[in-house]
Structure formats: structure tokens, C-alpha cells
Chain A
């Protein structure tokens, strides 16, 4: 029997074991970003900006220079880095509370300015780190620590569809929503991340990939139920696909 390598370690990530809960797809998304940076051979020219959320320690996992931003402000920090070092690759890695709630202004204006940065936006429909409170992306009816009776549109309003909104901005060059609930989708997600970084490489402007992700711990589901929940409940509200593509090609 010959051994086949199905899972190769990427040099895009450090040796540090991640702290994510079992079944959390933050780790998968890290690997995809790491692999893209490795395959594009841009690790040495990349500065990542970690946000505040479960992924705050991502600065210990990505194998490139990293800075850590205040809650929601990663796109502003990334702007500062990129404006000084326009020939470097700059990306942010942000959760949905970070990006779509407290930091919605920073990400919109970064896109409107056409900042030539890449945003990896991890939408798990909840505040993971602080113990499962409602996020702007929490689904209608979804129970969280701060919507114990389920999100009610008359009280908490409706989920923000970030890709749809960002796609209206002229400065946004590449916007795609992907998912991590099964292997084919994970492969698609990687392609999207690669195209986002290529957008940056070509100097086309702002790129963002929204990745639907799990939070088994705060959803109160086991890992496989969580993947199913993404497919059954999140994708209908957050349709996958390319929302903006100024780069062309497929």
C-alpha cells in the first residue's frame, strides 16, 4: 500500500497548536489562508492584522509579520500599514462581531477608498469569544445569550448581509461569500481566498472573502450538526457566490 499525503502542513502557519474548540472552522480557514500565502510565495512580503474575537491569537498562528488591532479596527490598522508599504500584502482576519458590528464603519470606508487590502471575514452568526451573544449576522429566530427567546426582527432587526452591502461600493474589487461545511466548499473557499490576494497583487483594490464558519460551542451543537446547520440555515440567508469581481476570469 502506498501512502498518500492528504493533509500537508503549510509553511503559512506556525508550529503553534491552535486553541480553537473541536469542530470550529476557524482552524480550517487559517489553513486556507496559510496555504494561499505559501502557494503564492508571498509569506515574506505579508503583514497580517489580527482582530478581537476568538481569532485574536491568529498572530501566533500565521507565519508572517502580524499586528493586533483593537476590536473592529483592523481595516484601519491595515490601511495604515498598506499606505506606508504599498508593495507588501496586507490582510485582516476578522469575525462577524468585529467586522459587521463595532467595525462596520472601518470596513466600509476601507472598501470605499479602494484600499488594496484583503479582508478575511469569518461569519459564524455569533460572538464566539465573549460567550455566544447576538451578532449583527445572527439569524432571525436564533437563540443566543442575548436573544434567549430567539432573534426577533421587531426587537433586534434583521441580519446584515455584508457581501451584498459591500458589493455596492465602487472601491470594492473582489467580494465573494464561501462556506466551510464540506470538502468541496472548502476547496472553493481556498480559491476565493487566492483570488482575493491576487486582486491585491494586481493592485485592483479592496477584496473580501466572507467565510461561513461554525461555532459548535456557542450554537450548542456537535461538530457535524454544526456543519449541517451552516448548510441548512446559514446558506439560505447568506447565499454563496461572487458578489463583485473587477478582476475578471473565473
Chain B
């Protein structure tokens, strides 16, 4: 298969099909509606099933049901709908069910608007629902990267029996780029011996539940979950760096914003400011390593986000006081321009407050 020109939302859908996902439960919401529509058309072609649920709450619970049978299953939404899924996501974590959930983030809070935003960063990376948990979150910056990360998302979900979140923004969903898909993959060779598919031929009844009435038992279960999260932190960190070898200043941005910063970085370099970029690809686990490696060498970091400043908290933790951390963000669906990022770099490098 050669390169094809597609919209981001459709790439997410096709990448999921390529990753062996045959079941999708969703509810329409802008700016991810193309994804739902694509799945409705596409899944029957591969012998799968698309079902429009009556709400995001129903959709995520249908995902719980399908996931409990051991198949690869996905749902997607945008911010308000993603909020509604939180209880179900917490149940997925508590019952250790694999699934992939997309959040194509839009401006908030409340109904907000349908323009691109990254203001659900806290919600996706810090738990979001009730209970002690984290979920792997992958944030692609290009359509080709979506293809790769959707495959990774399903593999991670199965490997650790966990939901995985793909976080994009409206821009990523709407942009068109040529992409190339790999081979269709069958779910990696795990026997999901925990799945509830009926006991015929496989012995005693199985139970999928997140309930543990006894405090000590629930604590034990939490400890096991924490061990799993620690393993994910060790194994599943993803990031990219750009021009950091000689950098005196480092920008930190993810998703489409990271792409915009690259142009601003080039311009700043032409004007003699040595600046680079750390682009977290896994938002959780957050990539501490590139910060640890640079924090005693650079003059400062500048977090650039489409939010009032959320990822910056993780940047500060990773920098651990070793260097100043500045911030530039736009909210409400406003996309920061290359020009304004450039100006922020220059004033940051010039010691001016940002």
C-alpha cells in the first residue's frame, strides 16, 4: 500500500483497523465526528462492528463489555464527551480491561467550543476518573505518527491490560497529510485467558470486576496496579528531541503545537539563539530523562501549550528546580502562531519575563 492522502480523524480510524480493532462504540461530537463516520463505513468491511451508542457513558460501557470478551475495541470522543467517559475508564482500570480511547481535545471548560485545544492534559494524564491510577497517553504530532502510535496503543493495552488514551487536538483531527499504512496486524499473541466468553471448554467461571469489599484486599490490588504503572513508566516512555545538542534554551511542546514550535526554533537559531525542543510523545509516562540530561546545562525551558499551563507542571517536576521554566500558552481554541512563539523565545532568551 502506497501513500494516501487522508484526514487525521480518518487516519486514527484506519490505523485502528490495521491494528486489528474490529469493534467501535461511539457518540458523535465535533471535532472527531469523521472518525465515528469512518468506522461506521469501514468496520463492516473487515467483519467488525460499529455501534452508535446513546451517549458517551453508554459507549464506554459497551467498550467495557466488548473488552471483557478479549477483543480489540476502541471509542473516541472530544472533551465534554470524554468527561462523561471517566467513570467507565476508571472501571476499565479497576477491572484491568484493555481498550483504546481517543480524545480529540477542544476548547473548554463547559461546552467551550470546537476549536483545537490541549486543555484536557490534566484530565488524561493525572487519572481523570476516581481512584489511584494513571493511563498511558500517547500524543501524535503528525498523521504518519498516528499510524504508529495507534498500533502501539493497542499493543500496550493488551500487554498491560490497561486502557490507553490517544490525545490529539482538533487540528490533528482535521489536517490532511499523506500517510502510509503497514501490514494488517493481528493482536499480538497473548491468550486472553481472563476473558469472559462463556465457560464452554475452558473450565471454571471467570469474573471481571473492580469490586473488592475488604480494605486489605483492595489495598493489595492497588499495590499490584501500582507495580504495573511502575513497569509502564519504565518501559513505555516515548519522546523526541530536536536541536538540543547545543541548545541553551529548550522548548517543550507536544502534538501539533510541537510542529509549530519547530519553525519558530529555526527562526530563532537564524538570529543566533541556540534553542531546541523536547517533544513528549507519551504524556504519561512523562519523559523525565531528556530533562535530567539537559537541566544542568541549559539556561531555561519554555513550555508551550494550548492551555493555561498544564504540562508545565510535569516539566517543572522533571527539571526539579535546576533551571527556570517559562510558559507560553493560548487558550479557548486559539492556536499559538509561529511568530508569537518566536517572540517568546527571544524575550525568554533575553531574560525578559514571559
Stretch at the interface among B56-64, B159-167, B275-283: B56-64
Question: What 1/0 flags go to A54-79 for Cβ under 8 Å of B?
Answer: 00110110111111111001001111
The answer to whether A80 and B211 touch (CB under 8 A), given A44-B199, A46-B198, A64-B205, is: no
Question: What 1/0 flags go to B43-71 for Cβ under 8 Å of A?
Answer: 00000010101110111011111111101
- Tell whether B88 is near chain A: CB-to-CB under 8 Å: yes
A65 touches B65 (CB 8 A): no
Chain A contact residues, CB within 8 Å of chain B: 14, 43-47, 49-50, 56-57, 59-60, 62-70, 73, 76-85, 88, 105-106, 109
B208 touches A81 (CB 8 A): no
- Tell whether B174 is near chain A: CB-to-CB under 8 Å: no
A109 touches B66 (CB 8 A): no
- Tell whether B210 is near chain A: CB-to-CB under 8 Å: yes
B residues in contact with A44, CB < 8 Å:
198-201
- Tell whether B73 is near chain A: CB-to-CB under 8 Å: yes
The answer to whether A47 and B198 touch (CB under 8 A), given A80-B25, A84-B71, A105-B54, is: yes
Q: Which of A60, A63, A76 contacts B58 (CB 8 A)?
A: A76
Q: Which of A14, A46, A84 contacts B66 (CB 8 A)?
A: A84
- Tell whether B347 is near chain A: CB-to-CB under 8 Å: no
Q: What CA separation (Å) do A88 and B69 show in the bound complex? A: 11
A85 touches B61 (CB 8 A): no
Residues of B180-209 whose CB lies within 8 A of A: 196-201, 205-209
A70 touches B209 (CB 8 A): no
A109 touches B210 (CB 8 A): no
9 nearest A-B residue pairs (beta carbon): A80-B65, A76-B61, A68-B209, A65-B196, A80-B62, A80-B66, A77-B65, A73-B61, A44-B200
Shortest Cβ distance from residue A137 to the other chain B in the assembled complex, whole angstroms: 22
With an 8 Å Cβ cutoff, the count of chain B residues facing the other chain is 38
Closest chain B residue, CB of each to CB of A80: B65
Q: Which of A43, A60, A82 contacts B207 (CB 8 A)?
A: A60
The answer to whether A88 and B198 touch (CB under 8 A), given A67-B68, A68-B207, A79-B51, is: yes
Q: What CA separation (Å) do A209 and B237 show in the bound complex? A: 50
B200 touches A45 (CB 8 A): yes
B65 touches A68 (CB 8 A): no
Q: What CA separation (Å) do A94 and B208 show in the bound complex? A: 17
A residues in contact with B71, CB < 8 Å:
84
A residues in contact with B91, CB < 8 Å:
69-70
Shortest Cβ distance from residue B50 to the other chain A in the assembled complex, whole angstroms: 10
- Tell whether B291 is near chain A: CB-to-CB under 8 Å: no
The answer to whether A67 and B198 touch (CB under 8 A), given A77-B61, A79-B62, is: no
A residues in contact with B69, CB < 8 Å:
47, 80-81, 84-85
> B58, B197, B201 — which one has the most chain A CB atoms within 10 A of its CB?
B58
Q: What CA separation (Å) do A244 and B150 show in the bound complex? A: 45
- Tell whether B152 is near chain A: CB-to-CB under 8 Å: no
> A14, A70, A78, A106 — which one has the most chain B CB atoms within 10 A of its CB?
A70
Shortest Cβ distance from residue B221 to the other chain A in the assembled complex, whole angstroms: 14
